[in-house]
Structure 1
Amino acid sequence: MSITSKAGTAENTKQTPAHSLGQNITYMISLAWRQRRSVIGLTLIMAAAAILLSLTQLFIVPSILGAVEAKVSVAELSVIILLFTGALIFLSAAQAYLASCAQFGRIEVRLTIGAMIQNKVLTMSYPDIEDPNVRKKMDKASMLVTSNSAATEAIWTTLMNLLKNSVEFIVFLSLLAALNPFMLLAVLVTAIVSFLVSNYLNGWGYRHRDEESEYSRHMNYLSESSRDYTLAKDIRIFGMGSWIEDVYNSMLRLYRSFIARGERIYIWGNIIDVLLSFMRNGIVYLFLIGAVIKGEMSAAQFVLYFNTVNVFTSGIGKILTGLSVLRKQSLDISAVREFLDYPETFKMEEGIPITPDLHIPYQIELRDVSFRYPGAEKDTLTHINLMIRPGEKLAIVGLNGAGKTTLVKLICGFLDPTDGKVLLNNTDIRTYNRRDYYRLFSAVFQDFSVLDVTIAENIAQTDENINTDMMKRCIGQAGLMEKIDSLPDGVNTHLGKVFEDGINLSGGELQRLMLARALYKNAPIIVLDEPTSALDPIAESEIYNKYSELTDGRMAIYISHRLASTRFCDRIILIAEGSIDEEGTHDELIARKGHYADLFEIQGRYYRKG
């Protein structure tokens, strides 16, 4: 495990976003309007309350000072103070209450987008799931809905602040319009220059975010690996603890160096901001004090205008900062939309519908099929011609890397051929509704999915409307009833260690659980893609024979690297170098004394005495 600094990642390739700033704002407003309209209303009300609070804070001291200068009575002065105090308390409380109320709606909108991303992930075309570029888009979109600070939620705060600051800018500009134009110009120039310089220097971290992300990703991986209980035995047996710690510390030193570089840049940003603020305040003080000395301005007006200049100046910076933040948030929202709008490779909803029927004789044909993975130099499969007849039990065997799993993916419709056709009852499967096509299959793959949910949910693959009688019948047929009856919660026992009452099943028990799941789906076509590779040959043979017995009469496709396990099949094809090298029954292939017979003999030697 070697980790190097990715200094070259500091420069980011500039790409035009798929959606403009205005389009992304409109998208979020439209989504909120459909999902939770209160988000829009509360944003406007909160902006209005913030404006009123800011104006109240601006006028409170000048108003009291003006009343003192006018020598009003104590009673009148008390009323003025009470009115302003009451307004401040009311507006502050209203602002806090509205912020609390708004949070729930904003979270709901963000979670809605998260659900849309999750649905896209679960339903998108299979080749896209395997595409590294699409996975990168998927990972980025998923990260952008994980926290309150994510753009999909934080944009409402940004829009509210921009609205507030823009209205305040107009109000304060009108107040300052009567003052010296030179002073107003100086305030504007110093404020804008201060923002631009500080924003550029403080944006160093954003420009180097990929480099920082690289450090964080490696450190998070190492931290997660050290806590992964599946690695605990290896870490102890092979003494990996000190190695992992050394690599982590090495990466931590690089990260500290990165942070130090950033801090030096940020210090210069703060120094320049202080100098420009000192210059701006000096100009304002000189002008306002001069006006007071000349008798052109009262003390109350001095305080009002000086405070107005300060708020006006900070308001300019806030508007420019808000626009910068909004632009970044728009890029994030555009990234989310780019993933959600990613075009489907397969026909999903618009294809020809199919309804699985156990009484229909399904036939699958691969006609001159070739397939090459994106970026590969040669085809994985070449000119495959294969007819799988209704009710036939077909075994696909061959060495690792021969293309067996790719062939199954083509049959199941996970992939489309680079050349040729896959036909279902003489119709190209690309014309079918692909989701309906998947319903024809009940499959168990080598990397089968067992979730940390109940046994019942793992079998039914849902937590709703489970057919309990059918499920128990499938469990019994799979030979797992005795095990489940021995558990305190039966089929409601959780699998895995996420839950306190979770259990782990043995390899053979998991295989029987997968058999029960396959039987429960009750699909007309069964596919087994080396799901028993972790079992010994005898246990594998028993499982395969169990599948054969319980799926009799249906089309079944078996893949195994152990040739003896599939000798019960009607036909066996041997895949070698991307093509069908041999086919026939087990006895026919042995009698032919070709590659199949050679492989069978080689494997058999390992299980003979002596």
Structure 2
Amino acid sequence: MKKNDRTLLDDIKLINRGMNEFETFLPGQLKLLFIYSAITMLIPYIGICMTSVVISELSSHQRVWVLTVSVTVAIMLTLILTIVSAFINKRISVGYNQLFPAHEIRLNEKANAMKFSLLENEKIRELRDEVSGSISCSGAGMGSLYWDCEIIFKALFSAATAIVLLAFNAGVKGTTLGFDNTLFGFANSVWGYLALTVIIIISAAVSSKMMSKIFDVSFDVFKNGARYNRYADYYKLEYLSDDKSAKDVRLYAQKNLILDEVLDKCYIPFAEGDKREKDASSKNNGIMLLLSALTGGFVYILVGAKAINGSIGIGNVLLTYSAVTMFIKALTDFAMTFTDLRNNNEHLLRYFDYVSLEEETGAADKSVDCNYVQVNIDNVSFKYPGSKNYALKNVSLFIENGQKVAIVGANGSGKTTLVKLICGLYDVTKGSIKINDTVVTARNRNEFGKWLSAVFQDFSLLALPIGNNISAGKLYDESKVWKALEKVGIREKIEKYPEKLEQSLFKDYDDDGVELSGGEAQKIAIARGIYKDAALIILDEPTAALDPFAEYEIFTKMNDLSQDKTTIFISHRLYSCKW
């Protein structure tokens, strides 16, 4: 729902939903923030009250014991509350530092749970970038919700305390309904307070409007900024710094081309957006400062007139002025921050849009016999979401248990797409795919995935020990891992590593990590598929990165690798299927 389409109640509900979601990140953090806000807002009022009492006493009775008790109580209360607030603030700071990783973990958990088709959707990837960027780049979304709640809590406590002080203060005494045609009469009448109230409301309303205008510009810049950051990060943090692309960058002198691209498509538009933000802030902040000065001046006149007229004592001048100005600040802060919260709902909506995306849930209709696998592809047609063209059309194939089938075709003919459908990563557009008479869908993929092993040509290995990479878990069976490595012909090399199966891959997090060649990495991926010991094995161009000798070695062992399991072999070279 767009900003202009939401009612006040809609925004309040969304803010409350955001606070409830925040509690799932950091349980109890908002309660701590509430207590901290109450304590920190009481501390300045203690000093104000103490100063008022001291001035009043010095100008009248001058009793030493009253002065001593007042100062002692004020100091002790301030000390105690300061210590308590410091202790709570430490816990709050520790908790807040966990917000960013907790936020990313939540998004990653969602990415892992959502339908695979959504992960490949460009709009979903942009949405993820916006949600991540909102908190990491500008502190918006859950970050802004947190800090805005602190300001709201403090404003409410400050306003409540100011009202109590004014209610019990002599500043409200002598107030009349009518007034003569003098400034003193106006200041002592209810009309003076009504005029002040009107000025405060107007000031708060205008300030809120100014805040909203600033946000509109900032949010427009942010939406484009998420795309700029994604583009720049790819080239700066991935392409230019990646050792795999370093050869091309140097041999083809790509550095200037890339930097010019980043400058034109990222930095220049970003600088223009930043200028728009600063211009909007300067103009609107100037108006807000002017309103604040006018309101403060009116309070000076109102309180000063009451003091000159004798309606309040000299000690209460400070108390009245401080209470009124702090009440004004609290009300203005509340109005502006609540406006910021409503504006921040634009970020929260994107967050909830992302975490509400459809997930892969459900299970197979019946238990699957892991020792017996038949695959029935019945008149399957498929087109990718958002595409008008079919990637596959009217494909039928029946694979018996234990049968080894090769699917050969040119690049782009839909071989890998068919594999994704068999794996349940996508739902077919027409027709059906059944394994043991159970229809394969994205919703029951996890159930089928337990006994299906696939090796893709675009596989991924983690910057973890070799043993964990092959087992895809924290624990692994050493003998089983060694057997898998031996079958793919890489055991001898792994045994030479100092840490053997505990040797980390890559140097992302371990300086002693090893870098593998493309062929070696592909052997590790094949070993991972063998280790799983699944009933159905799918090999999608498994030897694409291997040299002819290593490829021949794998092919000669292919029957041993697949044993008596149902096997689907994908290739664009017919001769590679002779095993």
| Shorter-chain TM band | 0.7 to 0.9
Q: Tell me if the contact between 2:210 and 2:285 (Cα under 8 Å) persists in the aligned partners.
A: yes
Superposed counterparts of 1:523-562, under 5 Å:
523-562=534-573
Partner of 1:267: 282
| Offset, 1:170 | 3.5
Can you list the C-alpha shifts for 1:125-151, whole angstroms capped at 9, x where unaligned? 222222233333444444566599454
Letter in 2 for 1:282: G
Matched residue, 1:164: 154
| Equivalent of residue 357 in structure 1, options 370, 376, 383 | 370
Indicate which of 473, 484, 491 corresponds to 2:501.
Answer: 491
Amino acid paired to 2:210:
S
- Tell me the equivalent position of 2:255: 241
1:288 aligns to 2:303 (yes or no): yes
Superposed, 1:195-210 pairs within 5 Å as 195-203=207-215, 204-210=217-223
Partner residue of 1:319? Answer: 334
1:481 aligned residue: 491
Q: Which moved more, 1:549-558 or 1:278-287?
A: 278-287
Residue identity matched to 2:158: E
TM-score by length of 1: 0.82
CA 1:274–1:341 in structure 2 vs 1: closer, same or farther (change >3 Å)? closer
CA 1:117–1:541: 2 relative to 1, 3 Å:
same
TM-score by length of 2: 0.86
- Equivalent-residue separation in structure 1 for 2:356 and 2:209 (angstroms): 37
Superposed counterparts of 1:558-597, under 5 Å: 558-568=569-579
Q: 1:142 to 1:212 in 2, by over 3 A?
A: closer
Aligned to 1:121: 111
Q: What secondary structure is seen at the aligned counterpart in 2 of 1:420? A: strand
Question: By how many angstroms is 1:338 displaced?
Answer: 2.9
CA gap 1:351/1:23 in 2 versus in 1, 3 angstroms: farther
Q: Tell whether 2:74 aligns with 1:62.
A: no
Taking the TM superposition and a 5 Å limit, the aligned residue runs for 1:299-448 are 299-344=314-359, 348-352=361-365, 354-355=367-368, 357-358=370-371, 360=372, 362-430=373-441, 433-448=444-459
SS in 1 for 2:513: coil
Shift of 1:15: 7.2
Contact 2:522–2:546 (CA under 8 A) maintained in structure 1: no
Instruction: From 462, 466, 489, give the equivalent of 1:451.
Output: 462
Between the aligned partners of 2:251 and 2:368, the Cα distance in structure 1 is 53
Partner of 1:181: 193
- Please give the alpha-carbon distance, in whole angstroms, between the structure 2 residues aligned to 1:209 and 1:184: 38
What RMSD, in angstroms, separates the aligned Cα atoms of the two structures?
3.0
CA distance 1:255–1:207, change in 2 (3 Å): closer
Contact 2:536 2:566 in 1 (8 A): yes
Closer, same or farther: CA 520–174 of 1 in aligned 2, 3 Å: same
Post-superposition Cα deviations, 1:225-278, rounded to whole Å, max 9, x if no partner, equal 433333222222112223333344444344333333332332222332232233
Distance in 2, matches of 1:514 and 1:41, equals 48
Indicate conservation of the 8 Å contact 1:111/1:145, yes or no. no
**Cα pair distance change 1:378/1:326, threshold 3 Å:** same
- Relative distance call for 1:430 and 1:255 in structure 2 (3 A) is closer
Q: Report the alpha carbon displacement of residue 488 of structure 1 after superposing the two structures with TM.
A: 1.0
Give the structure 1 partner of residue 267 of structure 2.
252
Question: Is contact 1:454–1:493 with CA below 8 Å preserved after alignment?
Answer: yes
The amino acid that maps onto 1:561 is H
Q: Is the 8 A contact 1:151 1:329 kept in 2?
A: yes
Q: Which residue of 2 aligns with 1:229?
A: 243
| Alpha-carbon distance in structure 2 between the residues aligned to 1:91 and 1:442 | 61
Gaps of 5+ in 2: 173-189
Q: After TM superposition, give the deviation of residue 435 of structure 1 in Å.
A: 0.6
**Structure 1: 5+ residue stretches without partners:** 1-11, 569-610
Distance 1:259 1:544 in 2: 58
Query: 2 CA distance for matches of 1:354 and 1:147?
Result: 47
Task: State the Cα deviation string for residues 251-307 of structure 1 (Å, max 9, x = none).
Answer: 434433333333233222233223223322232222222222222222222222221
Structure 1 residues 23-62: aligned runs within 5 Å: 23-24=13-14, 26-27=16-17, 38-62=28-52
Match of 2:224 in 1: 211
Structure 2: how far apart are the matches of 1:367 and 1:94?
Answer: 70
Q: Match of 2:203?
A: 191
CA 1:215–1:434 in structure 2 vs 1: closer, same or farther (change >3 Å)?
closer
Q: Which shifted more, 516-525 or 109-118?
A: 109-118
Q: 1:472: Cα distance to partner?
A: 1.6
What secondary structure sits across from 1:255 in the alignment?
helix
Provide the C-alpha distance between the structure 1 equivalents of 2:57 and 2:543, rounded to a whole number of angstroms: 89
Q: Distance in 2 between matches of 1:307 and 1:432?
A: 63
Q: Quick check: 1:507–1:535 contact (8 Å CA) kept in 2?
A: yes
How far residue 29 of structure 1 moved from its aligned partner, in angstroms, is 5.6
Aligned to 2:78: 88
Q: Structure 1 residues 469 and 150 mapped into 2: Cα distance closer, same or farther (>3 Å)? A: farther
Alignment match, 1:503: 514
2:490–2:520 contact (8 Å) kept in structure 1: yes
* Residue of structure 1 in register with 2:177 after alignment: none
Partner of 2:291: 276
Kept in 2: contact 1:443–1:527 (CA 8 A) = yes
| CA displacement 1:81-139 (0-9 Å, x = unmatched) | 23223322332232221111134445557655543432222232222222233333444
Q: 3-state DSSP class of the match of 1:196?
A: helix
Instruction: Please state how far the C-alpha of 1:210 moved relative to its aligned partner.
Output: 1.9
Structure 2 CA distance, aligned partners of 1:531 and 1:301? 85
Distance 1:15 1:57, change over 3 A: same
Deviation sequence 1:419-440 (CA, Å, 0-9, x none): 1111112332249832111122
